[in-house]
Structure 1
């Protein structure tokens, strides 16, 4: 028993000694709790003004954080280190910048604070000021030699980039007025792709305009345009700020860029330009892992389609490959080389956009290299229903698809036209979307030729029989009177 008591007493003594050793100095405690009177008294009594608490934070840190200029002045006059950094690299001047407190910052700078003080991950005081948006703080820092194009360590982003991303238009204008480079690019990035369905991440080299476009920073975009930003500069994937705005559903910002002279015909490495992007966004497939972007403002993607056509976007521009997988949709490999905005709109039965494209000069007779046309896509070619291997869902109703088919037929497309594999629109409907309503329409109302054979020698009925899991389609065709020969029973 006596031994246990002795050990307990020793443990208590050690604990108390450690607690005393790590106890914050009284001056720090007073400053932390906003007790100005006590803090001033301690300073007057000669307390060590730079003695920190355990993490290196000094009384000056706390006084600056509280914007207590009376205490800040007293501490500085007593010799407090204006550049003191705590364990995390935080300096008093960073805290003043966070607060947007230019008056306190000027006191620190006058006492020798470094205008280029930097946090461990490269965040300079000017970067902090750009993020919080205080023009007065930015002015004070630049006057004291802050580097305008300093960069943080992760992405190589500059103060102007941070101000633009946060939509601090005043800060953007101030930085530009001081000489910041309006088209400075962030650092290149390399990302490891861990799974096939992972969306492509930006490769860096973005200008401030890209960040503002992604964040829907309308005021910042206006300031950047005024400052001479290059509206058509492209990132390593070939995307422009206009495309970045569109794929993030920021359509009013996209219109602003168009009004300022952005070129709608710049294409990325897949051949996708702003028009194809807008068409895709109007019926964006439902992906996985996150919801689709929600439009902000009064415009939708169809409005931007019209605006783009009015400003000279090429309605017949063709993809070079499937579009870059920027959304969580697993990619669409049925619309690769040769695909046009019209084919993309037809696939979703997007009758509103199909009509807008045709009115804007889209070629309805254009086909993919394999001969697939808009009618086949509208009928269901390449339709995605969310299979486990490709968990994406194409959007568009059966009614819209049928209306699109009717419209395309009215423009002279051949209902029984065949692609290079001999498939017709009905073959496409059976092999792809397998919609009862669309198949019924093609058979009963559009009067598709049921005897046309594809390259495998299959009529539409035989294609349904050969389709894995096609029993329901076979049953539907039989209910419509379609026999194995392809003829409708009532017509035999």
Structure 2
């Protein structure tokens, strides 16, 4: 369209709008014109006597729209006409100042404050203009509000976060600097929330709403699990407690308690959240510049969150920000800091590197680092990190809330986690620094249902093996390396292991650590059982060559051949492995579940 024609068309549209607005086409014509950034229409409406404070359906006035757009001239026009600087929206109770602060429009902020706007006012969520300005990142907006009474220590209602936390968690370096200069408290912490403190009906509703994955440590779809809770639906007292030593305390404060009947929900495993400083929030997201700014200003690198007892370095490691975690380590961060579930930076670096396949996209910051996880582990070990630190509770985020493997890692060490991934370089590194390759996980309370339908397990132990008490040895590293979980759930759908395959890890543990190839886990499975469940002929032949007994029977009565013959739904038989095992002398009970 030629420019002249386009201008004529635009003029007609504007004229029509002006005509409609002047004659009151809507309940809030001034607000409608301001929303369209049409100053001439606003001016004409005001001259005709239109109400400058008339609000649209959601409570937005003309001044709200001018503030949101950062239109200083329009805002000044409205203020001159008597616009109410304290008007609030019907949804959220936002004032015009909050709208301007949210967008970081410093000149409009100054005009509104000069016109009587309240710098301390909060919306329905307790969010103040200073918090919004901090999140916007404009240091001038921050400074202007602070100089006019904005409170540095104010907290919003939901998480109890301060303006500094808003800036830090949004990677607003300049806003962080402005807040620090103004005197913001670097060690202020957010609210601590007990995520597990829900009623029984609330928890049951969550389980039904999710369909799967809401209960912890369970079968192939995560509908149920090893960790059990009281029949009332409430988490038992001291649910966030620690395990009792190396093998006697059971389920890290969850299992082994009277009256336990069902698995814990994920919210119960999470326990407490929050208590974060601005530094911890920035470290969680890997915002290096913000972290360095806060540390330079005096933020404590070893401040532990009051929620799950996590430090800045640890939360960076959990999320795969190895470069930042290494920097924090060099600033004096404690290499042995452990969260309330026992996760240390050593374990976390392995856990995020070998995180399972997720059912929906997940952050993969560890793929974008300058240093590798092994580099970070070396630095931790050089600083004295304990290679034998053990988990005290199932890690709720290990499988992104969908526990397809169904493996309970309570009691696991970094070496065990490396074995589970078949990570030979990591296992060697840990052994070189004193790792004990013989530490198993701890036996959980109860028995995990099988398959995706939560089938009950045979309660009668037909193996003749000595019973293992709760808290006793669970899964040895060799079984972890051999593929624990593949024959009891859907680990094959999610488990991530070394690209080199399973055999190198199995071979390393057998030949370098002297592991007993006939040792059993708490379910009575040998490494051969787990290799058979994956149909891994090479690993079967290797284990047999090292003396593995093909006639071993687990507590369920399953032979090694049975594990290769569709032991659970959707896990199909492995004909080649099955024929090999039968030839080697393992009995096929012909109990294929998936056939």
- How does the TM-score come out when normalised to structure 2? 0.68
Provide the C-alpha distance between the structure 2 equivalents of 1:373 and 1:31, rounded to a whole number of angstroms: 69
Is this contact kept in 2: 1:216–1:245, CA < 8 A?
yes
Determine the C-alpha separation between the residues in 1 that align with 2:49 and 2:179.
42
Query: Which of 238, 244, 255 is residue 309 of structure 2 equivalent to?
Result: 238
| Aligned: 1:80 with 2:83 | yes
CA offset digits 1:463-488 (Å, max 9, x no partner)? 4358874675542223xx42359xxx
Q: Which residue of 2 aligns with 1:220?
A: 290
2:536 is matched with 435
Q: Aligned partners of 1:425 and 1:400: how far apart in 2?
A: 19
Q: Which residue of 1 aligns with 2:480?
A: 377
Residue number among 403, 426, 441 corresponding to 1:330 in the alignment: 403
Q: Which one of 25, 46, 59 corresponds to residue 56 of structure 1?
A: 59
5+ residue gaps, structure 1: 1-19, 486-492
1:278 is matched with 349
Matched residue SS, 1:83:
coil
Give the superposition deviation at 1:431: 6.6
Q: Segments of 4+ in structure 1 off by > 6 A?
A: 420-424, 454-458
Give 3-state SS (helix, strand or coil) of 1:86's partner.
coil
Please list the CA deviations of residues 292-338 of structure 1 after superposition, one character each: whole Å capped at 9, or x if unmatched. 74533334433332332233211111223433445324287755454
- 3-state SS of 2:389 partner: coil
Counterpart check, 1:310 vs 2:399:
no
* Structure-1 separation of matches of 2:76 and 2:321: 47
Corresponding residue for 1:100? 104
Instruction: State the alpha-carbon separation in 1 of the partners of residues 121 and 104 from structure 2.
Output: 16
Contact preservation (8 Å) 2:346, 2:387: yes
| Residues 375 and 413, structure 1, Cα contact 8 Å, conserved in 2 | no
Instruction: Please name the residue that 2:505 is paired with.
Output: 404
Secondary structure of the 1:80 match is coil
Cα distance in 2, alignment partners of residues 286 and 433 from structure 1: 17
Deviates more, 1:291-300 or 1:352-361: 291-300
Q: Which whole-Å deviations, capped at 9, do the CAs of 1:402-457 have from their partners, x for residues lacking one?
A: 112332334250444635879685445457655222112222xx432437867979
Correspondence list, 1:3-22, <5 A: none
8 Å CA contact retained: 1:325, 1:331: no
Structure of higher RCO (CA pairs closer than 8 Å, 6+ residues apart): 2
C-alpha spacing 1:398/1:109, structure 2 compared with 1 (3 Å): closer
Structure 1 distance, partners of 2:438, 2:535, is 24
Instruction: Mark the runs of 5 or more structure 2 residues left unpaired by the alignment.
Output: 1-22, 207-213, 216-221, 223-264, 442-471, 568-572, 588-595
Higher helix share: 1
Which is further off, 87-96 or 284-293? 284-293
How many residue pairs end up in the alignment?
459
Q: Which of the numbers 162, 167, 176 marks the counterpart of 2:166?
A: 162
Task: Name the structure 2 match of 1:360.
Answer: 433
How far residue 37 of structure 1 moved from its aligned partner, in angstroms, is 3.5
Once the two structures are TM-superposed, the CA of residue 113 in structure 1 deviates from its matched residue by 0.9
Change (3 A) 1:210 1:419: same
| Residue of structure 1 in register with 2:579 after alignment | 475
- More off after superposition, 158-167 vs 319-328: 319-328
| Mapped contact 2:277–2:305 kept (Cα < 8 A) | no
- In 2, are the aligned partners of 1:118 and 1:125 still within 8 Å (CA)? yes
List per-residue Cα deviations over 1:59-80 (Å, max 9, x = no partner). 3223333333233223323433
Aligned-partner Cα distance in 2 for 1:135–1:251 = 29
Distance 1:331 1:155 in 2: 31
* SS of equivalent to 1:28: helix
Q: For residues 140-159 of structure 1, what are the alpha-carbon distances to aligned partners after superposition, in whole Å with 9 as ceiling and x for unaligned?
A: 11111111121222222221
CA–CA separation in structure 1 for the residues paired with 2:363 and 2:29: 54
Q: What's 1:490 paired with?
A: none
Pair 451,187 (structure 1): closer, same or farther in 2 beyond 3 Å: closer
1:423 and 1:75, CA in 2 relative to 1: closer, same or farther beyond 3 A? closer
Partner of 1:489: none
Q: Does 1:111 align with 2:181?
A: no
User: 1:203 is paired with a residue of what secondary structure?
Assistant: strand
Please tell me whether the aligned partners of residues 199 and 330 of structure 1 are also in contact (alpha carbons under 8 angstroms): no
TM-score of the aligned structures, taking structure 1 as reference length: 0.81
Distance in 2 (CA, whole Å) between partners of 1:230 and 1:385 is 47
Tell me how large the CA RMSD over aligned residues is. 3.5
Range that drifts further, 138-147 or 414-423? 414-423
Q: Deviation of residue 349 (structure 1)?
A: 0.9
Task: Specify the alignment match of 1:67 in structure 2.
Answer: 70
Return the offset for 1:396: 1.7
